[in-house]
Amino acid sequence: MCCSPPHMNTHVQNRTHPRAMRIPDSFRTLWLLKKLGLILGLCLGVVLIVSRSALLESVLPSLKLKSPLLPTPEVPTLSLLPQQQLRGLFSRDKLWLFPKNQCTCENAQSQGGYNFRKAYKESDLLGVDARRHAEYKHFQRREGLPQPLPLLAQPNLPFGYPVHGVVVMPLNTIPIPGLRFEGPDVPVYEVNLTATLGTLNTLADVPDSVVQGRAQKRLTISTSNRQLLNFVLQHVTYTSTGYQHNRVDVVSLESGSAVAKFPISIRYPVIPKLYDPGPERKLRNLVTIATKTFLRPHKLKTLLQSIRKFYPDLTVIVADDSEKPVKIDDELVEHYIMPFGKGWFAGRNLAISQVTTKYVLWVDDDFVFIPKSKIETLVEVLENTELDVVGGSVQGNTFQFKLFLEQSEAGDCLHRRPGSFQRLDGFPSCVVTSGVVNFFLAHTERLQRVGFDPRLQRVAHLEFFIDGLGSLLVGSCPEVVMGHQSRAPPTDKELAMLEKNYSIYRENTKAQIQFKLALHYFKNHFQCST
Amino acid sequence: MCCSPPHMNTHVQNRTHPRAMRIPDSFRTLWLLKKLGLILGLCLGVVLIVSRSALLESVLPSLKLKSPLLPTPEVPTLSLLPQQQLRGLFSRDKLWLFPKNQCTCENAQSQGGYNFRKAYKESDLLGVDARRHAEYKHFQRREGLPQPLPLLAQPNLPFGYPVHGVVVMPLNTIPIPGLRFEGPDVPVYEVNLTATLGTLNTLADVPDSVVQGRAQKRLTISTSNRQLLNFVLQHVTYTSTGYQHNRVDVVSLESGSAVAKFPISIRYPVIPKLYDPGPERKLRNLVTIATKTFLRPHKLKTLLQSIRKFYPDLTVIVADDSEKPVKIDDELVEHYIMPFGKGWFAGRNLAISQVTTKYVLWVDDDFVFIPKSKIETLVEVLENTELDVVGGSVQGNTFQFKLFLEQSEAGDCLHRRPGSFQRLDGFPSCVVTSGVVNFFLAHTERLQRVGFDPRLQRVAHLEFFIDGLGSLLVGSCPEVVMGHQSRAPPTDKELAMLEKNYSIYRENTKAQIQFKLALHYFKNHFQCST
C-alpha cells in the first residue's frame, strides 16, 4: 500500500474532511428523525428504516471511493444501531450526551428550566440578537474559535512524524522530534516541509544542493542518500517568527504524493503564581476568610465572634455596601466600604480581589462557626487533590449539583441535575460535582480567574459555578459543617427594623430575575436551561 | 514498508522516545561547551570538534538501528552546523531562543538584572527552596505538568486516524473521525482500539462475533470483510467516563504489529462572558475608567475634572486607601474605601473587580486628560484586533518593553528588552509588545483573569505584565496621549505637606525591593532576570 499511485492518496485526502463534517450531519438527521419518531409513535419502524438508509448514504460514498481496493465484490448489510439504542448507550441523567448540531431544552418549564430568550421584550430581540452575535464573533476571534476540523492522517505514509504535543514559545525555535522517511528506494529522494506561521530549518551541516529554503516557510531536502535524508530530517527545526499567543501551525511533510500533516502549538507556559506558606505552615499563612455584608451588622458581629472562637488569628476580609457601615473592632478584620447597595457579587468580587494567601474561605455573613467547621479538613483536601474549590455543608445542606452543557450554534443548552459525579479519590467522604453551597474553600488564584460577576446585584449563586464551568474543578465534603444563624424574626425592635429593611433589598424582584436570565442569554450565549 | 516485520515496528517505537529526549541533552552539551569555548578562547576550534562528535553520538545510535534498511553501505559525513552559527540562526535581542535544560542570566547585574535567589537570607534558602519546590509540584499537578513527551507516528501505518483536534466534553461521547484500515489483504482482519481514561464503542449494528468490548476500554473488531471492518471503524465512538478537566487520553489503534496512537482532549469549551454594549453602543456602556488614589486628593480632583471635561458621562471607579479619604462629589464616581495603606496593587485589583463594562481604562491619579487622550481610538483597536490590552503614551513615554522567557528546571530566566515585536495588523501606528505604560485600555474579563497581585504593596508595574505573560496580548498606540500633572513641588503649604507625607509611602524601601525580588523567585518560580 506504501506504493499506492498518486490519485489514491489525493482521493484519500479529499475524502477525509467531507467525512469528518458529514458525521454530525448524519446524527442531526438521526436526531430529527427521532423527534419525528416520537410524534408518529406507530410509524417508528418505518422511520428507523428511513433513518438507517439516510445514514448509509452518508457513509457509502466514501466506501464507493474505496471500492477499487475492495477484495470482495458482494456488499454486506451495513447499518447502524437503532437510534433508541444509541440514546440509551450515551445518556446520563436522561440527557443524550452526544454531539448534535442543535439542542433544545425539552419541557424546560416543567423541569423548572427557562428559555432565556424570553427574558427580552419581543420588540428588542432583533437588536439583541444582532449585538449578541457580533460580541460572540469577537469572543471567538480572541479565543481562536471555532476550532478547525480534526487533522486526519492518511494510511501508509512513508513518514515518521510527531502526532501531537510539540509546543514552541512565540519567537522561539524547537527541534521537531521523530521526523524520518521510510518510503521505497528511489534514485533521488525529495522531501518538502511547509509551515504557515513560522519558518523551518535544519541543524544538519549539509550543502545547499541538499537543503534549500533554510529559515523559510518551505524547506526542500533532496539527496540520493537515504541516511543523509534522515539525518537532515532528524534535525529539522521550527521557528515561530511572529509574536502570537495560543495559535496552532500545521506543518506538512510531503514526498511525491504522500502528505503528512502535524500541529505545532505556539504558546507560553502558564506562569506560576505560588504562595509561600511560611516555615511553620501556619493556617493563617494559608487561608483568609472572606465575606460580604449588607445592612446586618448584628449578623456579621455574631459571625466574627464565632470565627474568633475557633480561629483567633485568621485574617477576615469584609466587603460592606451598607448605607451606614458599622466600624468593626478587630485588628485582623480588613473592612472595605463600598458605595451603598453596590451588590452581592460586586462585594464578593471585591473581597476575593484582596486575598494574599493561597486559599480563601467563603462564608455568608449570617453563618456561624461551630466545632465541625473545620477549615483544616478542607485545606487537606485541596492540598492533596486537583480540586480548585471544595464546599462543606451548611446545617446539613450541601447544595450539590451537576451541570451539563449541550453545544449549539444558536446558543448552548444548560442542564442542572442534583447530586455529584463521582467519589473524590483519596477522600471517600467527599465527591466531585459542579456546584456547592455558599461555604467553600477555594484556591485563591483559580477563584480570582473566574471571579464573581459584579453585574449580578442580588442573590446569585448558580451563576458563579456556571461561569466557572470547565475552569474550576469542584468538590464537596459534607462532613465539614457550618452553622446558620437563626432565621427567626428577632424580638429586639431595632434588629427587627434592620431585618425588614434588609429583606426589601435581598429578594430578587421579577425584574432582577429577568435580568439574570437575560444575562445567561447574552453573556454566556446560552439559549435555555433545564 | 507497509509489510515490515514485527520487530521493525517495535524498534521504531522504542527508538522514537529516547530520541525525543536526547535532543535537548545534546544541546545542553553544546551549550556547556559554548561556555567552555568562551573561557578557553583559543581552544575554540578543538571545542567545536569535540562538540560535533558529542552530538554525533546522540544521533548515531538511532541511525545504527536503522542500518539494516540502508541501501548504501558507505556512510556520508553527518555533522551539525557549528554552534556559533546555530546561535546566530536562532537568536533575537542577543538571546539564544532555543530549548536548553538550564538557563542563566549572564552578567545579569551589568544589564540591570537580578539573581532573585539572592533576595533571601542565605540561612533561609534551604527552607525556602523546599517550600518553593513543594508548591511548584502542587501547581504542576493542578495544571497537568510536565507535559508528556510528544506523540510520534510510525511510518507506513496501515491506518487512517485523527492526528489532532478531537475534543470531548467530560462524560460526553464523540464519534472518532477518520478511522480506517488499508493494510494488506488477510483472511481475517483483527483491529484493537485501547483507551485509558474513557471507553470505546461503535455505532455499527454488527454481531458480537465482529465487535467485542463495547463500552469498555478495549474494543476488538475481527472480520474477514474489509468493507465491514472499515464501516465499523468509521463509526467508532469515544466516551469520557470520569468527570475530568483538561486531560488528554491517548487512544491506540493496533493491527498485528502496527500501532497508531492519537490524542483525545477531554475539556469544556470556554464559557463566553459577553457584555452588551446596548443599542446605541454608547462609550459609557463600553468603557469604565479605573484608578487608585492614596493621600493625594488634590491630584485626584484634577484628574476627575479633566475626565469630566472630555467624558462627562463615563463611570469612574476610585479605589482609595488614604488615611482620611476625601468625599468625592460626582454621581458617576464610585468611591471605594480601603483599609489605610493597603497598597498599590490591592487598590488596582479592587478597582478592576468592580467593572461591569466590556473594557476598562486604567489611569494613575496624577494623570490629566488632554485632547489627545482619545479613549475611542483605543476601543477601536481592541474591537478590531486580538489584543487584550492596548496602551497609549504618557507625555510621550510609551514604556514599551518585550519579555522573553527561558525555561529551566531550577526556575525560568526572564529577559526584558525595550521596544516592540512587530507592527499591529491594521493599525500602522501601533505595535505588539509585552508591556506598556500605566495608561491602557483592557478587555475587562481578560484583565480580571490575570489581576493585580495584592501582595505588591508599593510601586509595581512590570510585575503585572509578567503575571500576564502568555495570557494577555499587549499592544501600544503612542498616538493616544495622556497628560501628567506637574511634578513640581506645590507652593501651597498644605499641599506640600500632603506631597511630603505621600512620598514617604510611595518609594520602594530596600526591604520592599527585596520582597519583590523574592516574590519573583517564589511566586513566579523564576531564578533571575536581565
**3-state SS string over B479-515?**
EEEEEECCCCCCCCHHHHHHHHHHHHHHCCCHHHHHH
State residue B347's pLDDT score: 97
- Residues A103, A416: Cα–Cα separation, whole Å: 15
State residue B469's pLDDT score: 94
Mean per-residue pLDDT, A460-464? 87
State residue A500's pLDDT score: 85
Q: Which of A273, A415, A449 to mutate to test the interface with B (most CBs of B within 10 A)?
A: A273
Q: How far is A217 from chain B (nearest CA, A)?
A: 15
Which residues sit opposite B174 in a β-bridge? B238
Q: Which of residues 345-404 of B touch A (CB under 8 A)?
A: 346, 349-350, 352-356, 358, 383, 386, 388, 404
Which of B260, B157, B441 has the alpha carbon at shortest distance from A159? Answer: B157
DSSP-assigned letters across all residues of B399-447? --EEEEEE--TT-EEEEEEES-SEEETTEEEEEEESB--S-EEEEHHHH
DSSP-assigned letters across all residues of A123-164? HHHHHHHHHHHHHHHHHHHHHT-SPPPPEEEPTT-SEEEEEE
Between strands A412-418 and A401-406, the pairing is antiparallel
- Extract the C-alpha cell encoding A51: 433513518
Q: Give the predicted TM-score (pTM) of the model.
A: 0.86
Alpha helices, H only, A392-509: 444-450, 462-467, 493-506
State residue B16's pLDDT score: 34
Instruction: Look at residue B210 and give its three-state secondary structure.
Output: coil
Amino acid of residue A275 = Y
Q: Which of residues 283-312 of B touch A (CB under 8 A)?
A: none
Question: A228 near A127, Cβ under 8 Å?
Answer: no
State residue B74's pLDDT score: 56
Chain A and chain B share a number of CB contacts under 8 A equal to 439
DSSP B82: P
* Contact flag A153-B163 (C-beta cutoff 8 Å): yes
Q: How far is A438 from chain B (nearest CA, A)?
A: 20
Amino acid of residue B347 = G
Q: Burial code of B150-171, b = ≥16 C-beta within 10 A, e = fewer? A: bbbbbbbbbbbbbbbbbbbbbb
> Chain A within 8 Å of B525 (Cβ-Cβ)?
yes
Q: How far is A491 from chain B (nearest CA, A)?
A: 33
> Chain B within 8 Å of A23 (Cβ-Cβ)?
yes
- Residues A410, A527: Cα–Cα separation, whole Å: 7
> Chain A within 8 Å of B426 (Cβ-Cβ)?
no
Query: What chain B residue is nearest to A388 in terms of C-alpha separation?
Result: B142
Which residues sit opposite A528 in a β-bridge? A115, A413
State residue A34's pLDDT score: 46
* Contact flag A405-B169 (C-beta cutoff 8 Å): yes
- Residues A115, A496: Cα–Cα separation, whole Å: 38
* Contact flag A177-B353 (C-beta cutoff 8 Å): no
Question: A237 near A176, Cβ under 8 Å?
Answer: yes
Task: For residue B236, give Cα distances in angstroms to B185, B191, B219.
Answer: 22, 12, 9
- Residues A240, B455: Cα–Cα separation, whole Å: 34
* Contact flag A227-B149 (C-beta cutoff 8 Å): no
* Contact flag B178-A152 (C-beta cutoff 8 Å): yes
> Chain B within 8 Å of A147 (Cβ-Cβ)?
yes
Amino acid of residue A111 = Q
Which of B167, B233, B223, B151 has the alpha carbon at shortest distance from B200? Answer: B233
* Contact flag A383-B155 (C-beta cutoff 8 Å): no
Task: For residue A523, give Cα distances in angstroms to A445, A463, B90, B188, B480.
Answer: 23, 11, 43, 55, 30
Task: For residue B444, give Cα distances in angstroms to A39, B350, B435.
Answer: 47, 13, 17
> Chain A within 8 Å of B222 (Cβ-Cβ)?
no
Query: What chain B residue is nearest to A337 in terms of C-alpha separation?
Result: B337
A152 vs A24, higher pLDDT? A152
Count CB neighbours of A66 within 10 A: 18
Q: How far is B429 from chain A (nearest CA, A)?
A: 17
Question: A67 near A8, Cβ under 8 Å?
Answer: no
> Chain A within 8 Å of B110 (Cβ-Cβ)?
no
Of the pLDDT bands very low, low, confident and very high (cuts 50, 70, 90), residue A497 is confident
Which of A60, A58, A32, A28 has the alpha carbon at shortest distance from A47? Answer: A32
> Chain B within 8 Å of A183 (Cβ-Cβ)?
yes
- Residues A349, A347: Cα–Cα separation, whole Å: 5
- Extract the C-alpha cell encoding A198: 513560522
State residue B22's pLDDT score: 36
- Residues B290, B360: Cα–Cα separation, whole Å: 7
- Residues B351, A356: Cα–Cα separation, whole Å: 16
Q: How far is B408 from chain A (nearest CA, A)?
A: 12
Q: How far is A65 from chain B (nearest CA, A)?
A: 12
Inter-axis angle of helices A122-143 and A510-522, to 10 degrees? 40
The answer, yes or no, to whether residue A439 has pLDDT greater than 60, is yes
Q: Burial code of B46-77, b = ≥16 C-beta within 10 A, e = fewer? A: ebbeebbebbbebbeebbeebeeeeeeeeeee
> Chain A within 8 Å of B470 (Cβ-Cβ)?
yes
Question: B248 near B263, Cβ under 8 Å?
Answer: yes
> Chain A within 8 Å of B273 (Cβ-Cβ)?
yes
Which residues sit opposite A287 in a β-bridge? A359
> Chain B within 8 Å of A91 (Cβ-Cβ)?
no
* Contact flag B158-A1 (C-beta cutoff 8 Å): yes
Sequence-distant (6+) residues with CB within 8 A of A20 are: A149, A150, A152, B177, B178
Query: Which segments of chain B have a pLDDT < 70?
Result: 1-76, 107-111
Q: How far is B377 from chain A (nearest CA, A)?
A: 17
Q: How far is A514 from chain B (nearest CA, A)?
A: 15
Q: How far is B176 from chain A (nearest CA, A)?
A: 9
How high is the mean pLDDT of chain A?
A: 86
User: Strand order of the sheet with strand A198-202?
Assistant: A173-175, A236-240, A198-202
State residue A74's pLDDT score: 55
* Contact flag A243-B334 (C-beta cutoff 8 Å): no
Which of B246, B18, B25 has the alpha carbon at shortest distance from B149? Answer: B18
Q: How far is A20 from chain B (nearest CA, A)?
A: 5
Task: For residue A64, give Cα distances in angstroms to A25, A57, B206, B439, B471.
Answer: 19, 11, 20, 63, 47
- Total number of residues shown for chain B: 530
> Chain A within 8 Å of B161 (Cβ-Cβ)?
yes
Reported as type and span, the H/E element at residue B382 is: helix B375-384
Task: For residue B383, give Cα distances in angstroms to A244, A284, B376.
Answer: 18, 43, 10
Which of A354, A280, A275, A281 has the alpha carbon at shortest distance from B519? Answer: A275
User: Between the ranges A11-15, A82-86, A503-507, where is the mean pLDDT highest?
Assistant: A82-86
> Chain B within 8 Å of A466 (Cβ-Cβ)?
yes
A500 vs A476, higher pLDDT? A476
Rounded to the nearest angstrom, the gap between the alpha carbon of residue A502 and the centroid of all alpha carbons in its chain is 37
The answer, yes or no, to whether residue A106 has pLDDT greater than 90, is no
Q: Which of residues 24-63 of A touch B (CB under 8 A)?
A: 27, 59, 62-63
State residue A526's pLDDT score: 96
> Chain A within 8 Å of B204 (Cβ-Cβ)?
yes
| Chain B residues lying within 8 Å of A454, measured CB to CB | 353-356
> Chain A within 8 Å of B241 (Cβ-Cβ)?
no
Which residues sit opposite A317 in a β-bridge? A290, A334
* Contact flag B339-A338 (C-beta cutoff 8 Å): no
* Contact flag B163-A261 (C-beta cutoff 8 Å): yes
Longest dimension (CA), chain B: 101
Task: For residue A289, give Cα distances in angstroms to A439, B291, B307, B412, B475.
Answer: 11, 26, 37, 33, 37
DSSP-assigned letters across all residues of A329-392? --TTEEEEE-STT--HHHHHHHHHHT--SSEEEE--TTEE--TT--HHHHHHHHHHSS-SEEEE
* Contact flag A235-B80 (C-beta cutoff 8 Å): yes
